[in-house]
Amino acid sequence: MENLDVMVLRTLRDWRQAGKRALLTTVVRTWGSSPRPVGSIMALADDGAVVGSVSGGCIEDDLIARYSHAHAKNDQGEEVPPGAPPRLVKYGITADEAHRFGLPCGGTLELLLEYDPDAALLADLVAELEQGKLMQRTVTLANGAVRLNEAKAPDELKVNDTELTTTFGPEYRMLLIGAGQLAEYLATMAKFSGFAVTLCDPRAEYRTAWSLPGVEITTEMPDDAVLAFRPDRRSCVVALTHDPKLDDLALLEALQSEAFYVGAIGSRRNADARRDRMIEHFDQTAESLARLRGPIGIYIGSKTPPEIAVSVMAEILAVKNGVTLPREMEVARAKGLQQLAMS
């Protein structure tokens, strides 16, 4: 599964290039508990087709009823002409409305509605994103004029009285070191979470059983694969081979990068042994290895490959989303507490 924003923008581009009227909807502000974060986007076509989500299903039906089918009506029942200027609308202003639309805890959403976005500018934006660039899209609220600029770093949506700026980034990426059943489950979950997945395994006997489509496969030695992968702040590197000859050098290269998550599968004993090897043989220190995660995952009592994959993916998503998990959910700490309780 590709990055959702890119998918929405690409579909919207195709609709507009085909001559369809369409609407781009962006979550601008939220109050209370909101099903979707600020910056979420959704597109509607004049035939009722929809891609993306701004409320997890709470208000999509109302948006489709109001603003699709080519002759969209505004709140006053007036037809919206092609290329009309953007509008800001709110849902869930009252408790009754929040309940009617299924918004939790009296939440309120403010949306920007852009009518018939320019097809050429959409094509330019999608082309830049497909090249892996980080892009800013700024909309002038008075007339809907759009300008595009390459961004230097990811940024939150910004809005003031005159314009709204959204930063669209390249998709998140995951590099898996080592094929196998666990890697297939983890890659599947990563793809459904919007990650582009690359698998590295120089061992032909392991690669022959790989059956998951849509994953780039490399046969380089893992440390070379990490260098070629060029991890950035939207990347994670996960070693799954249990083989120090394959994992250790790849992990060391990943730790030199900006990858937001670097970790390796294994028991507490193996994780401690890995750190000891790196300190003894590769001049590492406790400080230089502070970002290395292992044992990876959160403690959910997982035993089978799919359960372990759930555990690992949950930790990766928590780190990606800036969530600090309680220490009791760390695998090593949870198992240590269990041993103390049993002794």
pLDDT digits (tens, 9 = 90+) for 47-70: 889 999 887 666 787 888 777 654
Judged against a pLDDT cut of 90, whether residue 264 lies above it is answered with yes
Name which of 140-154, 191-205, 321-335 the model is least confident about: 321-335
Confidence of residue 246 (pLDDT cuts 50, 70, 90): very high
Residue 119: pLDDT band (50, 70, 90) is: very high
Q: What is the structure's pLDDT at 334?
A: 65
Of the listed ranges 118-127, 136-145, 175-184, 189-198, the least confidently predicted one is 189-198
Cα distances (angstroms) measured from residue 309 to each of 188, 219, 303, 323? 9, 23, 10, 19
pLDDT at residue 324, rounded to an integer: 87
Q: Residue 156's CB: how many other CB atoms inside 10 A? A: 10
Q: Which of 335, 268, 333, 270 is nearest to 301 (CA)?
A: 335
pLDDT for the residue 1: 44
Q: Are 25 and 113 in contact (CB under 8 A)?
A: yes
- Is the pLDDT reported for residue 153 higher than 80? no
CA distance 176 to 153: 25
Evaluate whether 62 touches 19 at the Cβ level (below 8 Å).
no
pLDDT at 270: 93
Q: 288 or 46: whose pLDDT is higher?
A: 288
Confidence of residue 335 (pLDDT cuts 50, 70, 90): low
Pairwise CA distance, residues 87 & 63, whole Å: 13
Q: For 28-46, how does the pLDDT look when each residue is reduced to its tens digit (9 = 90+)? A: 998 765 557 889 999 999 8
Q: What is the pLDDT of residue 131?
A: 80
Predicted local confidence at residue 327, as pLDDT? 72
- Answer yes or no: are the C-beta atoms of 282 and 248 closer than 8 Å: yes
Amino acid at 296: I
Burial of 72 (0-12, 13-18, 19+ CB in 10 A): buried
Residue type, 92: G
pLDDT at residue 26 in the model: 95
What the block records as the tokens of 233 is 């702040």
301-313, pLDDT tens digit by residue?
888 999 999 999 9
Q: Which residue has the higher pLDDT, 175 or 267?
A: 175
Q: Is 309 left (phi over 0), alpha (psi -120 to 50) or beta?
A: alpha
Contacts 24+ apart (CB under 8 A), 329-333: 329/298, 329/299, 330/298, 330/299, 331/268, 331/295, 331/296, 331/297, 331/298, 331/299, 332/268, 332/271, 332/295, 333/299
Task: Find residue 23's DSSP bridge partners.
Answer: 44, 115
Strand order in the sheet with 261-264: 216-218, 195-200, 172-177, 235-239, 261-264, 292-293
Class of CATH domain 173-342: alpha beta
- Output the average pLDDT for the chain: 87
Residue 157: closest CA among 331, 328, 15, 28:
28
Query: Helix (H, G, I), strand (E, B), or coil: what is residue 25?
Result: strand
The domains of the chain are located at: 4-168, 173-342
Higher pLDDT, residue 26 or 35: 26
Position 178 pLDDT exceeds 70: yes
